[in-house]
Structure 1
Amino acid sequence: MNTANLIRLVTLAAIWGGSFLFMRISAPVLGPAVLIEWRVLLAALFLMLVGLVLRRRAAPLNLRENWKHFLVLGFFNSALPFLLFAFSARTLSASVMSVVNATAPMWGAIIGAVWGRQPIKARTALGLVLGTLGVALLAGFDKVSARPRAGIALMATLAAACSYGIATTYARSARSVAPFANAHGSMWAAALLVLPALPFFPQPGQPTLTVAASVLALGVLCSGIAYLLYFRLIEEIGPTSALTVTFLNPVFGILWGSLFLGEVVGWYTVAGAAIVLVGTALVTGFTPRFGRAPAVAAGK
């Protein structure tokens, strides 16, 4: 991996780790549905502008052939997990959410094995146990576990990570669509899919300049630009090495939460994150050289 791609990888991890910070700031004010509708709509508009600039290099959406594919991918890879994370962000810390999100490749490997009717290997079972213990350690000792509805929020976060696993499994068996078209089309699909949730989650407060900036960052930076970086990395270094971003995300999620929100980083935070990442590596069979990566971004 050359220096330019290493910088892209770390930058992507920093951006996706920051998404939990931005959701933690904006979700309590806007509510999960309003926040995510703005997020995916801004991302779709940004990617549309990028497509217009790239013109020949940007793959066409071919909606007539791919609309069902975009709806499925948009639901499981964007609309559903984004909504669940935004719901959890009203209660959980950015640190906890970023660590639990790192279990997404674990879910993908397990769902893939079940879908393919393959036996669960001992290494996979051990990784699953470690991942569960890591999440339990983090949630059990972190002060956020004492907040009202923290248990429901944690389950929603785990469900969001699982949704990424479903998206990964689906993408591996779906028709081949260009990466940029996948990102662009799925964002428009997600914008449509989030609309029915708006009446159930009314906006609880009035946005400030900080909240508005967080929403803009979520849409353009954490969704639009991040997808472009991710697919550029896959093209340059391959999906195996690109998976490394999953293991870097919690580092930045914890860092940004500590720096900007004053979240406490205790021994349980570090230990829980380390155990989750080891469990994820075992389940996915990931090593820097021989690992396997998900077909879509687990993002964030």
Structure 2
Amino acid sequence: MSVSASAVAVPDASTASARWLTPVELGVLGAIWGASFLFMRVAAPHFGALALVEIRLAAGALVLLPFLWLARARFPLRLWPLLALIAAINSAVPFTLFAWAAERAPAGIGAITNAMTVPFTALVGFLFFSEKIGTRRALALAAGFVGVLVLASGRSAGASVGMAAAAGTLAAFMYGLGINLVRRHLSGLPPAAVAAATLSCAALLALPFAIATWPASNPPPLAWAAALALGVLCTGIAMVGYYRLIARIGPSRASTVTYLVPLFGVSWAWWLLDEPVTLPMVLAGALILGSVAISQRAPR
């Protein structure tokens, strides 16, 4: 290479790397979280909702426990009742609702309703924490609710999906409530350690129900593989990746993964489970993702 050619300005390697690394990581995270609904659809009919959720919580907690151990001095005993409450609201109950829905409806139904978490977070802040919601976010909520109604009124493979859509929507509302509680009461703590603590508490809370409803016959290997992937990959490893992404690009940009989860969830189910993509699912997905877009663009 000549001297003149070598003198041409070259972008900084770390900056150039970040340009392609961020969309790749967002895509991978969206694919993983989208696959969680596929895994639930495969495993839930064999384990039942409560047993599957226990496996998911315990496996996810085990992956994240090292982060809690490193930050253990910042988690005094007086904090654990609050952690247990948030664990029920943000993990145990919504995970169970999504698993229950996965027993009864295509995986795409849960993936689409999951996107309602973003507008529900704004709604909970408005209803319970005196946050301003604004006209744009109010319109976003309205569009999202219309999307849920369209989804719930549809049918897939000849069966009504209304109850599954309602369960997924309630789970998204619980996520919105949990996010607000974490933001206000646990914001000064390491996020990965908080996730480990809440998943551990949720696993203990769900354990008696899982034991009482444990399947009489051992589920097949594919169901076990799906259940473990749901816990280790989609709950534990994905959370580590998400917090790493937040640390590098900030929570606002990292939250754009919300747009990808329904797309991947529906695509995985269509590709691997031959689940149909119906017109109500397309319309509902467009309305709900549109509500997410409006909600995220609204002023804080």
TM category, shorter: 0.7 to 0.9
Is 1:203 matched up with 2:220? Answer: no
Task: Kindly provide the CA deviation profile for residues 181-234 of structure 1, in whole angstroms up to 9, marking residues without a partner as x.
Answer: 111111111111112323664426531111010011011000110110110011
Q: Match of 1:27? A: 44
Q: Match of 1:227? A: 239
Task: Kindly provide the CA deviation profile for residues 256-281 of structure 1, in whole angstroms up to 9, marking residues without a partner as x.
Answer: 01011101113332222111111123
Task: Kindly provide the CA deviation profile for residues 144-183 of structure 1, in whole angstroms up to 9, marking residues without a partner as x.
Answer: 6734xx4333222111101000001111210421112111
Between the aligned partners of 1:84 and 1:269, the Cα distance in structure 2 is 19
Task: Kindly provide the CA deviation profile for residues 120-158 of structure 1, in whole angstroms up to 9, marking residues without a partner as x.
Answer: 5332222122111112222323326734xx433322211
- 2:268 counterpart (239, 252, 256): 256
Q: Match of 1:187? A: 199
- RMSD between aligned residues: 2.2
Between the aligned partners of 2:170 and 2:217, the Cα distance in structure 1 is 26
Whether the aligned pair in 2 keeps the contact of 1:100 and 1:135 (CA below 8 Å) is yes
Unaligned runs of 5+ residues in structure 1 are 293-300
Whether the aligned pair in 1 keeps the contact of 2:110 and 2:164 (CA below 8 Å) is no
Q: Match of 2:171? A: 160
Between the aligned partners of 2:216 and 2:163, the Cα distance in structure 1 is 19
Aligned pairs for 1:34-183 (under 5 A) are: 34-48=51-65, 50-51=66-67, 58-60=70-72, 62-118=75-131, 120-143=133-156, 146-147=159-160, 150-175=161-186, 176-183=188-195
Q: Match of 2:226? A: 214
Q: What is the DSSP-based 3-state SS (H/G/I as helix, E as strand, rest coil) of the residue aligned with 1:265? A: coil
Deviates more, 1:208-217 or 1:66-75: 66-75
Between the aligned partners of 2:121 and 2:100, the Cα distance in structure 1 is 22
Whether the aligned pair in 2 keeps the contact of 1:79 and 1:193 (CA below 8 Å) is yes
Which one has a bigger Cα radius of gyration?
2
Between the aligned partners of 1:118 and 1:211, the Cα distance in structure 2 is 43
Normalised by the length of structure 2, the TM-score is: 0.86
Q: What is the DSSP-based 3-state SS (H/G/I as helix, E as strand, rest coil) of the residue aligned with 2:250? A: helix
Between the aligned partners of 2:169 and 2:213, the Cα distance in structure 1 is 20
Q: What is the DSSP-based 3-state SS (H/G/I as helix, E as strand, rest coil) of the residue aligned with 1:207? A: coil
Between the aligned partners of 2:162 and 2:200, the Cα distance in structure 1 is 32
Is 1:16 matched up with 2:33? Answer: yes
Unaligned runs of 5+ residues in structure 2 are 1-17
Whether the aligned pair in 2 keeps the contact of 1:127 and 1:279 (CA below 8 Å) is yes
Whether the aligned pair in 1 keeps the contact of 2:153 and 2:162 (CA below 8 Å) is no
Identity fraction in percent = 36
Between the aligned partners of 1:66 and 1:14, the Cα distance in structure 2 is 34
Q: In structure 2, give the amino acid aligned to 1:22.
A: F
Report the Cα offset of residue 34 of structure 1.
Answer: 0.7
Report the Cα offset of residue 22 of structure 1.
Answer: 0.3
Q: In structure 2, give the amino acid aligned to 1:82.
A: F
